[in-house]
Amino acid sequence: MFRKLFFTSCAVICSAFPAFSGPLNVTVTIHPVADIVKRIGGDAIEVHTLLKPGDGPHTFEPAPSDMRAIGRAKMIVIVGFGLDTWLEKLLRTSQNKGRVIIDLSTIVKNPIDIANDNDGHHHKGHINPHYWLDPMIMKNAVGLIERELLRLLPKEASNISKNASAVRGELEKLDKEIKTLIATVGNSRSFVAFHNSWSYFARRYGLNETGVLETSPGREPSATHSTGLLRQIKKSGVKAVLTEPQFSPRLGKTLAKEAGVAVVIVDPIGGVAGRDGYFELMRYNAKKFLDAMSENQQNE
């Protein structure tokens, strides 16, 4: 009798207070991708970004809040191509076994291989992971994100599909906008970057990546490499050295000073005021590239 009364009471209480069903927890490694995911999922998802503004993917140290986010995430979105290998250990130590992991690199049909750096060091099989800086590649990524969200949140299908369609349209618009802007550069389309972040952007918009200063994360360039870059800058008519806020500007400024060119800050990660979302970030970078290749850049 007691057992019957207990379950009857429990049923009444549970019907009066239905189980909480909040937004789907999603964890994403970098901010530009997180913004795209959030735009697709809308209010049906809650997104936690692991890399904070100013963090570099090669030096990332997780905070306790990151571990908690990974632990409760039902969906984890990674860049792949070796950019977020540090996440593998975090996933192994997490007790969350029911999550879905989406590797967006699987949709990159024509990845850029980093076969050799300018010092002759071979990196066999190393693929450049910075494909999110090509809006048309991200347009393909939208489909993968949409499919997984539809599977996990079937009741939100209408909104998710509508949002995904809108994001694809905005990415097409952004691509045309950047093409129009870069077309005003003229024939002077060469640049030297601190890091190899801009290969996909350069390929998409017809720019010439003359060289990069840091060929391996955390390894300072040799004297031979720096001397070769100086020659390339003069030969190619490069007007600026591009630096990034995730890395120390010291090497870039030194090279620019020796070459007699300007320093222009570009940002592949964003997440700060003025470049908080993916679209704001890409427009910021397009304008910075225009500055870097113009005759009257502002030295930063």
Q: Tell me what pLDDT residue 20 has.
A: 42
Which of 111, 143, 174 is at the close of a domain? Answer: 174
pTM of full prediction above 0.75: yes
Judge if 135 and 213 occupy the same domain.
Answer: no
pLDDT tens-place string over residues 108-164: 999 998 864 444 443 445 899 999 999 999 999 999 999 999 999 999 999 999 999
- CATH number of the domain that residue 142 is part of: 3.40.50.1980
Domain with 206, as residue range(s), is 177-292
Distance of CA 76 to the CA centre of its chain: 14
Residue 10 belongs to some domain of the structure: no
Q: Give yes or no: residues 84 and 164 share one domain.
A: yes
Pair type for strands 75-78 and 45-49: unpaired
Cα–Cα distance, 246 to 54 (Å, whole number): 5
In the chain, the N- to C-terminal Cα span, in Å, equals 80
**Position 297 in a domain:** no
pLDDT tens profile 57-115: 767 888 899 999 999 999 999 999 999 988 988 888 887 778 999 999 999 999 998 86
Compare 179 and 18 and report the one with higher pLDDT. 179
Place of tokens 């060469």: 190
Distance CA 46, CA 37 (A): 10
Residue 17 in any domain: the answer is no
